[in-house]
Structure 1
Amino acid sequence: MKNIKDYQHKKILVLGLAKSGVSAASLLHHLGAFVTVNDKEPLEKNPDAQGLLQDGIKVICGSHPIELLDEGFELIVKNPGIPYSNPLVSGAIQRGIPVITEVELAYKISEAEIVAITGTNGKTTTTTLIYEILKADERKNPLIAGNIGTVASSVAQKATEMNQMVIELSSFQLMGIQEFRPHIAIITNIYEAHLDYHGTREEYAKAKANITKNQTKNDFLIVNDDQSELKDLVSFSKAKIIPFSTTRYIENGCSLYDGEVVFLGESIISTSDIVLPGEHNLENILSAVAAVKLMGVSNEAIRKVLTTFKGVKHRTQFVMELEGRKFYNDSKATNILAASSALKAFQQPIILLAGGLDRGNGFAELVPSLKNVKALITFGQTAEKIEEAGRAAGIESIKRVDNVEKAVPVAYELSSPGDVILLSPACASWDQYKSFEIRGDIFIDAVHKLV
């Protein structure tokens, strides 16, 4: 890593812990900053804070006292999940104190080339595909980081010029960048999401577009050419635009032609050889192929991965087959579009498990995708709203349960051989579970208990 002096002797507040806050605090302490950590969890229940305290870092726990802003901090590193409406954050902005997220720190210290991926859907699959393809090419040494589960500022500390950092980024993280500049950036797509955090679709989209705000003519921006809104959104970018499309051939980008994935006119792989299911995954594949081809990866490495890669955990993940029923875990489907994409991937009758955090939206947009759903099991805050969509779609068998664990045996009872039992909630998990990963793991455990 680069041993930078940018933060030496500066008073810096790390607001909110979890993995990103712990990494940021430890890194800044190592770089010579005077670090204060503030987390709402009480110290006695906060092992992360206790560990930082033992390392000699000042820790304030139990609340977010507004008086902290009087201590003369020169920078705040904010946990991405803390909204900008938080009084400490909004107060800092009013006072002119910069507020960043830890991905900015990762960029400042990284010696590796950075490939950054964002978008509403497909981020994790695209990130994983790029990482796996780079790994399959023996000339590359990729590292994977970001919103996919490994904190970028931790990974960046290990990165050298021989590495390539592949980072998945959320809109929350991208709102907190200053100089962050990936050599290759990808925006998979833009749809309405996280309005409870951003307020409007326009603000959400603007946060996503931050991924390219510091790019230059020597960098690349890979964008979904099938979305006119996205093309307009990034029209300010100085990077070289590499479009991709699943609907038409693009000579200067990555697209489909005559059953082949084609990049800059070169045929890479036949779509019939790709094992990753679902039309929506073709978008992810095209953007990933564009990225690795720009990095000089061999077609052999691309084919090796795309002929074996079956998906990422919690993303239309095949769990098992039991008595002719196939179980799929798509817990990452935290919005309507993602759930619709998963539903369209199957031709068989579906028993759908759905529900979760109520963000105020309705589910009328889900109705056209429910044509193959023979039974609907709902749970969580949005159970009633999703049931309304189910009735509008003509689903006769609708059951409500307390949670995902209880939904699985009910779904099995309603199913027949040849059916698909699909967890694709169309909602975030936070009303009942700390993360979509925990929700998905509970689903998997419940499925295995049927045996």
Structure 2
Amino acid sequence: MDKRLVVLGGGESGVGTAILGKQKGFEVFVSDFGKIKETYKQVLIHHELDWEELGHTEAKILNADVVMKSPGIPEKAPIVQKLLEKGVRVISEIEFASAFTKATIVGITGSNGKTTTATLTYEILKEELNVSLGGNIGKSFAEQVSSEASEVKDKKNYVLELSSFQLDGIETFAPHIAVLTNLSPDHLDRYEYSYEKYIASKFRITMNQTAADYFIYDADDVEIKKWMEKHPIKAKKLPFSLQKEVNQGAYIKDKKIILTIDNTEFTMPIATLGLQGQHNTKNAMAASTVAKLLGIRKETIRQSLEHFHGVEHRLEKVLKINNVMYINDSKATNVNATFYALDSMQTPTVWIVGGVDKGNNYEELLPLVNEKVKAIICLGVDNEKIKKAFGNVVEMIVETAGMEEAVKVAYRLAERDDTVLLSPACASFDLFTNYEDRGRQFKDAVRHL
């Protein structure tokens, strides 16, 4: 049994892992190269855990039996390289925590839509099951596993939103139900700018599944299809599609979702979904497939889909001022997510974009920008790529130094019946702590206009 657990990174997943590790009898040490947030420090102190910040003490790290690396730390980090050279197991929180629970796990990944799909799935399941939401959102999976009560009668279920970074660190993790929402280039800076490597990382979600498990996926996605032709998947396959009929899985006919699993059928008119738009129809198909597999009643699924109105920072309507609608889509951290956002705009749009570019190719946005965007406001330290991509298509491109200025400029440029859209297509780490911080700053700035 591994006895010394070192946790790299004192954030949500790191602190959760430390708590679970201590509970399971490990000798635990938490090390963060940066500063640990005060709230997390208090938790570490409360649980009497050993920790350090602002640097790594190698002697206390390289003697680990197992290391949990937080998803934000790249494999290229010197301390990680040293651990790998020594042959120490370096795993993710998901891998570590899953060994200590017998719960049914639903794992949801994809370049876009995974937060919405995971949240929607959780909202449906919680009506009838004992279920928790975790992974990339909310409370860490490890901490939730640590507080699982052994005397609970109804079996526990988890819905986990999983990033490629979390999946990179798995060895035996096997969700009973895996969902892959879609694929588009993202985080390529972490995958040596290789789209193939990024796709392989996403498909790790099915790596340990058996014929008793399920894989739900977008059958319209070209890259998913290409990968599946070359790599056999053991789990039972349940596709969803807007373009063609499928025998098992979900498709659209007569403006209705039709979901077939074995011999049972579930139908629902698209018009009654709480979230509209083609990508949201796909999210609803994926979530209802999971719910049906876990035995949720049809009526419960229908009502949940009707009442669900989305997650914060994803095409979230903030306010209407002088007949201009302000929309917060801060969660759009890649080009494909911004594509959905621009595609759903019905009025002339002032688009706030930019941040840390992860190897973006803006070409696919050109037709949409040409058709819908009247002005671009850049929100990043380096905006050359954005200016180069859209300089010939949009008359007005303005560079700003922060969110407050960006919103004030947008207010001046927008006319009656326009939309101001924050959809950055980039990571947030230059001016903001994360996309939530960026979205909240946008909402605050709009409310102060």
Q: Same fold (TM over 0.5)?
A: yes
- Are 1:346 and 2:350 an aligned pair? no
Q: Distance in 2 between matches of 1:421 and 1:143?
A: 35
Amino acid at match of 1:244: F
Q: 1:70 to 1:120 in 2, by over 3 A?
A: closer
Amino acid at match of 1:86: A
Q: Distance in 2 between matches of 1:248 and 1:168?
A: 27
Match of 1:260? 256
| Aligned partners of 2:20 and 2:97 also within 8 Å | no
Q: Distance in 1 between matches of 2:89 and 2:62?
A: 15
How far residue 158 of structure 1 moved from its aligned partner, in angstroms, is 3.6
Q: Distance in 2 between matches of 1:153 and 1:337?
A: 31
Q: 1:418 to 1:79 in 2, by over 3 A?
A: same
How far residue 243 of structure 1 moved from its aligned partner, in angstroms, is 0.7
Q: Which runs of 4+ in 1 moved over 6 A?
A: none
**Residue-by-residue CA offset, 1:367-419 (whole Å, 9 max, x unaligned):** 12212111211120342322333323x22122221122211121121112211
- Are 1:81 and 2:72 an aligned pair? yes
- Are 1:379 and 2:379 an aligned pair? yes
Match of 2:390? 390
Match of 1:440? 439
- Are 1:63 and 2:55 an aligned pair? yes
Q: Distance in 2 between matches of 1:266 and 1:348?
A: 38
Q: Cα RMSD over matched residues? A: 1.9
**1:15-414 matches, cutoff 5 A:** 15-41=8-34, 48-49=40-41, 51-52=43-44, 55-68=47-60, 70-71=62-63, 73-136=64-127, 139-159=128-148, 160=152, 161-199=154-192, 200-234=194-228, 235-264=231-260, 266-370=265-369, 371-392=371-392, 394-414=393-413
Amino acid at match of 1:129: L
User: 3-state DSSP class of the match of 2:126?
Assistant: helix
Q: Distance in 1 between matches of 2:328 and 2:282?
A: 20
| Aligned partners of 2:68 and 2:96 also within 8 Å | no
Amino acid at match of 2:373: V
How far residue 449 of structure 1 moved from its aligned partner, in angstroms, is 0.9
How far residue 54 of structure 1 moved from its aligned partner, in angstroms, is 5.9
| Aligned partners of 1:358 and 1:381 also within 8 Å | no
Q: Distance in 2 between matches of 1:47 and 1:350?
A: 39
| Aligned partners of 2:19 and 2:146 also within 8 Å | no
Q: Distance in 2 between matches of 1:238 and 1:51?
A: 41
**Residue-by-residue CA offset, 1:203-242 (whole Å, 9 max, x unaligned):** 2111111111111111101011112421343533211011
Amino acid at match of 2:211: K
Match of 2:416? 417
**Residue-by-residue CA offset, 1:1-38 (whole Å, 9 max, x unaligned):** xxxxx55xx11211111111111112111111111221
| Aligned partners of 1:65 and 1:88 also within 8 Å | no
| Aligned partners of 1:277 and 1:310 also within 8 Å | no
User: 3-state DSSP class of the match of 1:156?
Assistant: helix
Q: Distance in 2 between matches of 1:132 and 1:42?
A: 35
User: 3-state DSSP class of the match of 1:438?
Assistant: helix
| Aligned partners of 1:100 and 1:176 also within 8 Å | yes
Select which of 11, 15, 25 maps to 2:4. 11
Q: 1:60 to 1:241 in 2, by over 3 A?
A: same
**Residue-by-residue CA offset, 1:233-288 (whole Å, 9 max, x unaligned):** 35332110111112222121111111000111834210111131322222211111
Q: How many residues align?
A: 438
Q: Distance in 2 between matches of 1:327 and 1:432?
A: 20
**Residue-by-residue CA offset, 1:343-384 (whole Å, 9 max, x unaligned):** 101221111111111334342232122121112111203423
How far residue 53 of structure 1 moved from its aligned partner, in angstroms, is 5.0
How far residue 162 of structure 1 moved from its aligned partner, in angstroms, is 2.7
| Aligned partners of 1:379 and 1:404 also within 8 Å | yes
User: 3-state DSSP class of the match of 2:391?
Assistant: helix
Amino acid at match of 1:48: Y
User: 3-state DSSP class of the match of 1:421?
Assistant: strand
Amino acid at match of 1:391: G
Q: 1:29 to 1:427 in 2, by over 3 A?
A: same
How far residue 151 of structure 1 moved from its aligned partner, in angstroms, is 0.6
Amino acid at match of 1:216: T
User: 3-state DSSP class of the match of 1:268?
Assistant: strand
User: 3-state DSSP class of the match of 1:109?
Assistant: coil
Q: Distance in 2 between matches of 1:406 and 1:153?
A: 40
Percent same amino acid among aligned pairs? 39
| Aligned partners of 2:23 and 2:146 also within 8 Å | no
How far residue 65 of structure 1 moved from its aligned partner, in angstroms, is 4.0
Amino acid at match of 1:413: R
| Aligned partners of 1:38 and 1:64 also within 8 Å | yes
Amino acid at match of 1:203: K
Match of 1:3? none
For structure 2, list consecutive stretches of 5 or more residues without a partner in the other structure: none
| Aligned partners of 1:348 and 1:372 also within 8 Å | yes
Q: Distance in 2 between matches of 1:277 and 1:175?
A: 33
User: 3-state DSSP class of the match of 2:384?
Assistant: helix
Amino acid at match of 1:224: D
Q: 1:373 to 1:74 in 2, by over 3 A?
A: same
Q: Distance in 2 between matches of 1:42 and 1:351?
A: 37
Amino acid at match of 1:271: I
User: 3-state DSSP class of the match of 1:387?
Assistant: helix
User: Which 10-residue stretch deviates more, 299-308 or 189-198?
Assistant: 299-308
Amino acid at match of 2:215: L
User: 3-state DSSP class of the match of 2:146?
Assistant: coil
